[in-house]
A and B are shown apart, each in its own frame.
Chain A
């Protein structure tokens, strides 16, 4: 099996702009080519598009407008973890020998159809994500005594981290008090507890390790992959204070990489809602269950950027199909030591956690410099 490295990236600013999906895909691809001058269109064996947009044949469309004639071209759609899942597909093509170099581009518009899963009849009329976010939050509060202030600290930390992310949707800084006073959406969720759907695109380049130095002086290895889908319907979650798909995906990734949670220096965590960051930190073994809030408060108080250094989904915005790719880019930059003011010192091992549809599916990647 060929070893696989991340060797390049391209970013766009996240916004609420009305931009067509093909323009978004091309912008991120253009950015990637501009930052990787050794890359030629002819080098690319496969093009994978990550999106929930309903436009058909997007990988072929992107290939044509970017002057690429790949062997393999297709779209990956898996709601909010489309990005990490498309990267797993890219990994598999290279590991199997079907491709040497794969371009993965994620893009989404602010009005993405991927925000609601119509199929899930068990949600009744409560289909909007704020309802499952409320149930998770209520359940975590009930089991562990999590407070509104502890949730507001997650949001404050991620908004603060996003200020140094030039591609973030918002650069506003908030005090914990301001966030505690933000508009209530439900008994358990405030506006400040929620990530926001937006427009954006991100691109990454993967290559077989044996040719990775052609494209990057500092390739980053994909050491571990874990994926688990427990169901499609939200109400099938066994309990609502723990995300079982994340537990399972994390275990698989750690086992494949031979890495423990305590070895991870920097992580991108899928904070769709503030409680999701606490739950994921617990489910991935960074802390025991119920200790996530204390852990995050310590990061906030000490200005430690270890978790969600680019600002997470809450600080950066959440263009669904691009989110997983943007998370991977952040860890890639951190491990290459080029994250600028966001840089976490001496990091060698990074983790990406990307999930979808009320944690019914999770993907965990472990990267090493």
Chain B
């Protein structure tokens, strides 16, 4: 289990950033996919923007983008009347249980 997964298991969302060229490496990896430099781990901004969304039964799901780079699919919670693409979202919760990754976002 890498650092991303061990932190996610504790409910912390961290990302990898290259120590040399400062590129955000997503999906998380131990080495930069631009210059192969070592990465350091840090918390990203919890505020992102809505890229796209849909709904299965009563569960809304979406793609959200953080720091103009990191895109994740997750559950969209809260009052959702007419979401707008580009609308701000906040990462509310994340986890890793039995090998299952999960992310929960809310419109703000």
Interface residues of A (CB under 8 A from B): 118, 120-126, 130-131, 134-135, 137-139, 142, 185-188, 233-236, 240
Q: Which of B51-87 contact A (CB under 8 A)?
A: 51-56, 61, 63, 71-75, 85
Question: Which residues in B have their C-beta under 8 angstroms from that of A122?
Answer: 26-27, 71-73
Q: How far is the CA of A120 from the CA of B101 in the complex (A)?
A: 10
Are B101's CB and A233's CB within 8 A? no
Are A124's CB and B54's CB within 8 A? no
Q: How far is the CA of A122 from the CA of B85 in the complex (A)?
A: 19
Q: When the two chains form the complex, which single residue of A121, A142, A185 contacts B101, counting CB atoms closer than 8 Å?
A: A121
Q: Tell me if B12 counts as interface (CB < 8 A to partner A).
A: no
Majority secondary structure of chain A interface residues (helix, strand, loop or mixed): helix
Q: List 19 A-B contacts (CB under 8 A).
A: A121-B27, A122-B26, A123-B101, A124-B72, A124-B73, A124-B74, A124-B103, A125-B102, A126-B73, A130-B56, A135-B54, A138-B54, A139-B52, A186-B54, A186-B56, A187-B55, A233-B27, A235-B63, A235-B72
Q: How far is the CB of A243 from chain B (nearest CB, A)?
A: 15
Interface centre among B27, B53, B75 (most CB of A within 10 A): B27
Interface residues of B (CB under 8 A from A): 4, 26-28, 51-56, 61, 63, 71-75, 85, 99-103
Q: How far is the CA of A186 from the CA of B52 in the complex (A)?
A: 14
Q: When the two chains form the complex, which single residue of A124, A130, A138, A185 contacts B52, counting CB atoms closer than 8 Å?
A: A138
Question: Which residues in B have their C-beta under 8 angstroms from that of A186?
Answer: 54-56
Top 7 A-B pairs ranked by shortest CB distance? A235-B71, A187-B55, A134-B54, A186-B56, A126-B73, A125-B102, A124-B103
Question: Which residues in A have their C-beta under 8 angstroms from that of B54?
Answer: 131, 134-135, 137-138, 186-188
Q: How far is the CB of B35 from chain A (nearest CB, A)?
A: 18
Q: How far is the CA of A142 from the CA of B72 in the complex (A)?
A: 20
Q: How far is the CB of B100 from chain A (nearest CB, A)?
A: 6
**6 more A-B residue pairs beyond the given contacts A186-B55, A187-B54, with a C-beta to C-beta distance below 8 A:** A118-B99, A121-B4, A124-B103, A186-B56, A188-B54, A235-B71
Are A123's CB and B73's CB within 8 A? yes
Q: How far is the CA of A122 from the CA of B102 in the complex (A)?
A: 9
Q: How far is the CB of B86 from chain A (nearest CB, A)?
A: 12
Are A124's CB and B85's CB within 8 A? no
- In the complex, which residue of chain B has the Cβ closest to the Cβ of A134? B54
Q: How far is the CA of A120 from the CA of B26 in the complex (A)?
A: 11
Q: How far is the CA of A188 from the CA of B52 in the complex (A)?
A: 12
Q: How far is the CA of A130 from the CA of B54 in the complex (A)?
A: 11
- In the complex, which residue of chain B has the Cβ closest to the Cβ of A137? B54
Question: Which residues in B have their C-beta under 8 angstroms from that of A142?
Answer: 85
Q: How far is the CA of A56 from the CA of B73 in the complex (A)?
A: 33
Are A124's CB and B102's CB within 8 A? yes
Given contacts A122-B27, A124-B101, A124-B103, contact A185 B73 (CB under 8 A): no
